[in-house]
Chain A
Amino acid sequence: EPEVTQTPSHQVTQMGQEVILRCVPISNHLYFYWYRQILGQKVEFLVSFYNNEISEKSEIFDDQFSVERPDGSNFTLKIRSTKLEDSAMYFCASSRQGAGTDTQYFGPGTRLTVL
C-alpha cells in the first residue's frame, strides 16, 4: 500500500540554524500538508499546498517557514532560523483531493530538536 515517507526521522540542530524537513507524498495525490505536534500537545495544522502554491496557512506558519515542491516527488518544509520552541514532531500528509471528505494520509513524522 502506498505511504507517505519522511526524512530524517530525527533532526537535532542548534538554535538559529536552518533545517529542511523532507516528505515524499503518495504519488497520485495533489494536496499536501504539514502539521506539527509539540510534545504533550495536540497536532496543529501548519500549511496546505496545492498546484505549487500555499492554499492555506495557520498563524504558526510565519515568515520563518516556507514550503516547496522542488520536483515531482518531494515536498519540503524549511525553517530558516530555528528557535527552541520549534522543537516538535513534524508530520507531512497528502490527499488525492482537497474536499473535506477526502482522507489525509500521514507520514511517520520527523522529530526536530532545537538546542
Chain B
Amino acid sequence: AQSVTQLGSHVSVSEGALVLLRCNYSSSVPPYLFWYVQYPNQGLQLLLKYTSAATLVKGINGFEAEFKKSETSFHLTKPSAHMSDAAEYFCAVSVTGGYQKVTFGTGTKLQVIP
C-alpha cells in the first residue's frame, strides 16, 4: 500500500523567503505524486503532479517539486513566499492501475509572516 509522510504540521516563513514543505512517500510500485493546496473554506486545488516524466515538476503560483527516488522524497518549494501562499498543503500519492485512489498526507499549514 502507498503512503506519504509530511514533516511539520505547521511551517512559518517570512514574506520573500524560501518555502520548503517536505514530503516522503512509500510505495511498492512506481508512484504518481501530487501536491494539493487548500485555502480557507475552499476545496483542494492541484498545485502540481509527478507522473514519471521529468523529475522536476513545475506547478502553478511559482511552486515546484522534485522527485528523488533515492530519497523517496517529493518536497515542494517556492523561491519567494507571498502572503497569498498562506494555506494548507497536502502531499498525495496514487499508483498505476486501479481507479486512482489517492492517499493524502496529514497536511502542512503554511504561515507567511509580513
Interface string of A83-115 (1 = CB under 8 A from B): 000000001010100111111111111000000
- Is B99 touching A43 in the complex (CB atoms < 8 A)? no
> Once the chains bind, are B43 and A31 in contact (CB under 8 Å)?
no
Q: What distance in Å separates the Cβ of B43 from its nearest Cβ neighbour in chain A?
A: 4
In the assembled complex, B12 has its CB within 8 A of some CB on chain A? no
Q: Which residues of A contact B92 (CB under 8 A)?
A: 43
Question: Is there a chain B Cβ closer than 8 Å to A64's Cβ?
Answer: no
Measured between alpha carbons, how far is A58 from B36 in the docked complex, in Å?
21
Q: Whole-angstrom distance from the CB of B86 to the nearest CB of chain A?
A: 18
Task: Please report the C-alpha to C-alpha distance between residue A95 and residue B32 in the assembled complex, in whole angstroms.
Answer: 15
Inter-chain contact B43/A99, CB cutoff 8 Å: no
- Docked-complex contact A4 and B100, CB < 8 angstroms: no
Interface pair B32/A101, CB less than 8 Å apart = yes
Interface residue tally for chain A (C-beta within 8 Å): 30
- Do B100 and A43 have beta carbons less than 8 Å apart? no
* Contact of B41 with A108 in the complex, beta carbons under 8 Å: yes
Q: Does B101 contact A (CB under 8 A)?
A: yes
Contacts beyond the supplied A4-B43, A48-B100: 20 A-B pairs with Cβ under 8 Å: A35-B102, A35-B104, A42-B90, A43-B90, A43-B104, A48-B101, A91-B43, A95-B100, A98-B98, A98-B99, A100-B51, A100-B96, A100-B97, A101-B49, A101-B51, A102-B100, A103-B49, A104-B46, A106-B43, A108-B41
Q: Using a CB–CB distance below 8 Å, which chain A residues touch chain B?
A: 4, 6, 31, 33, 35, 41-45, 48, 50, 55-56, 58, 91, 93, 95, 98-109
